[in-house]
Chain A
Amino acid sequence: MNLKGGFLIIPLLLVLLILASFFLFLPQNIDREGMKTVILNIRLPEILSAVLTGVALAVSGLVFQVVLRNPLADSYVVGISGGGAFGVTLSLLLVGMGGAAFPLRALSAFVIGGGSLVLLMKVSKGNPERMLLAGVLLNTAFAALARLIVSFLDPAELAATNTLLIGFIYPISSFELSFAFSVILISAVVLLRAGKAIDILSFSDDEASSLGVDVAKVRFASLAGASLLATTAVSIAGMIGFVGLIVPHIARSVFGNSFGRLFAASVILGPALMLAAYVMTKAVSSIVIVPVGLYINFVGILFFFALLMKKELFNDS
């Protein structure tokens, strides 16, 4: 796909997916009033939730990959999402899952996800490879802690938490929506403004320093922004992997390596991937409840197998 074609086809794909998300696989024997309720009160908040999650995960994954100079880096791999998920499960144990618990859930995700980042920076001493390795360990530790907490939950919360840990889109409240939107917008704008410095950071540290970039400062600030995006995604939709890994790769194959272009492409492709998975969940949701994270995982695994077979994975970075 050439650049011009990509600029045209990808937004068109997003529009089609939004329309499909709204109108496909509606319940049978539904009257006009019921359809209005389903579209406005269920599908709309779910679609907005999927779009916000897609933007947050894709942009966060892009920043992690560029800053750590590793095509396999994203918030999920380095343990920030795992830290966020641990924070979410901890808040569930303390205050349950009611709507009023959302601020605490988001705060726990931010605090523990942010704490993980600080720990990673300290342990790795700024070395991207070390940071990635430490992140994998951290992720495993947080996954174990989250499982430990889950075993103390009551059955109703347990089932909901298990689904959330896989990644689940549900009709979030307007408060949750506006909260997530504000955080994602602010983080995305800050990251976009720091785009030039992040772009330079994709070279070696020495080269970036010689071009006048304060490497440590920009690295920490950009990773903090990316972590904030990732933990927001975790607090609204749970642990959804692969979006942050796949989207930057697709974007790079179409739009090249410029951070600005990749950012724009991620903002469109992230939601597109989430919405495609969302439509698939709607196709089977009349029989069983399938978390959206499962579809993303299937797609992600197939995508990476295809990439590995083509041997393009490491050439693209």
Chain B
Amino acid sequence: MHRTAVLAGERLFRRLKTPRKVKMRRCFCFIILIACFAVFAERPGGRFISLSPSTTEIIFAIGAGDSLAGVTAPADHPAEAAKKEIVASYDGILFEKIAAMRPRECLTVSGMQSGESLGVIRRLGISVTEYPVSTLEELIACIYDIGRKCGREAEAGKLAERIRKSVEKISKEIPFKKERAIFLVGLDPAVAAGKGSYLNDLCRAAGFVNVLEQVPPSYSVISFDTIAGLDPDWIILPEGEIGKDSREEFVRRIRAIDKNTRIGEINADLIMRPGPRVVEGVEKLAELRRENKK
């Protein structure tokens, strides 16, 4: 006992006698260590969960696909997204999968998941960011913020500016009078995009105006009579989403009423899903206008 106390005393004495230079070196190492921790703690990273196909596309487009732990169905673009674990769909969220993944944050766009479901995730202690994306400017702000969260500010900035410039360029190239259009996302039954829908802003850039842009909700079932009564210049159908027979029947009925209404087809995801493919969507819409300019 006595021997142990003596040894401890000697050790303490030696420590007190440590030269100042050594002490300074130790202090320097300690500060570097703390700084390293601070840098790592502040560095954006960790894993995210995307609760909408739009945020999935944006995250992959800025090269941050690796930071995704889970995605929402349909995870059809880009191809790598399909390899990620599905944790949600239009029907709801698999809360237990999300809790098991313990993500840093869940990202989604408004109108994809209900407030109730997002409230449950918040109650699990996981933060949720819901981006409003009913206009092009809101989409660009969303891309910037996702870039900041994923530590990919430069890539996000490039993507956002590319979208802004491309849409402006297309808009300048389409100086024709804006034509009235109805955008259908399905035919059995016919579902049309209305007020608050993201494409309202886009179609203006491409020389169209959505006839239903002031009619809530953002997507609603619409009858054939209503479509005929609105007398649009264009009816835009979702490419690849409807059967050949349904399409032919619909076109036949429209032609029987009004031979002047033009019918175009475009991949609905390009214009309905706010994301990096927006330029492609506006370009396709603009092509329709260029081919049929008045």
B92/A152 in contact, CB under 8 A: no
Taking the nearest CB of chain B, how far is it from the CB of A27, in angstroms? 4
Interface of B is mostly: mixed
A26/B217 in contact, CB under 8 A: no
A27/B100 in contact, CB under 8 A: yes
Q: In A97-141, which residues have CB < 8 Å from any B CB?
A: 97-99, 101
Across the interface, which residues of B come within 8 angstroms of A38, CB to CB?
A: 96, 99-100
Taking the nearest CB of chain B, how far is it from the CB of A37, in angstroms? 4
- A159 and B115 in contact, given A29-B100, A37-B125, A151-B220 (Cβ under 8 angstroms): no
- C-beta contact mask, A68-101 vs B, less than 8 Å → 1, else 0? 0000000000000000000000000000111101
B124 sits at the interface (CB 8 A): yes
Across the interface, which residues of A come within 8 angstroms of B101, CB to CB?
A: 34
A182 sits at the interface (CB 8 A): no
A152/B217 in contact, CB under 8 A: yes
B96/A160 in contact, CB under 8 A: no
A34/B92 in contact, CB under 8 A: no
Q: In A158-193, which residues have CB < 8 Å from any B CB?
A: 159-160, 163, 168, 170-171, 173
A154 sits at the interface (CB 8 A): yes
Q: In A254-300, which residues have CB < 8 Å from any B CB?
A: 285-286, 288-289
What CA separation (Å) do A26 and B95 show in the bound complex? 11
Taking the nearest CB of chain B, how far is it from the CB of A25, in angstroms? 9
B99/A34 in contact, CB under 8 A: yes
Across the interface, which residues of B come within 8 angstroms of A154, CB to CB?
A: 111, 196, 217-219
A155/B111 in contact, CB under 8 A: yes
Taking the nearest CB of chain B, how far is it from the CB of A148, in angstroms? 11
B96/A27 in contact, CB under 8 A: yes
User: Measuring CB to CB, which residues of chain A are less than 8 angstroms from any residue of chain B?
Assistant: 26-31, 33-35, 37-38, 41-43, 96-99, 101, 151-157, 159-160, 163, 168, 170-171, 173, 285-286, 288-289
Identify 5 new A-B residue pairs, CB closer than 8 A, beyond the known A29-B100, A34-B101, A99-B116: A41-B99, A154-B217, A170-B95, A171-B120, A173-B119
Q: List 24 A-B contacts (CB under 8 A).
A: A37-B100, A37-B102, A96-B115, A97-B115, A99-B115, A151-B221, A152-B217, A153-B217, A154-B111, A154-B196, A154-B219, A155-B111, A155-B112, A155-B217, A156-B113, A156-B114, A156-B115, A157-B114, A159-B114, A170-B95, A170-B117, A286-B97, A289-B92, A289-B93
User: Measuring CB to CB, which residues of chain B are less than 8 angstroms from any residue of chain A?
Assistant: 89-97, 99-102, 110-117, 119-120, 123-125, 196, 216-221
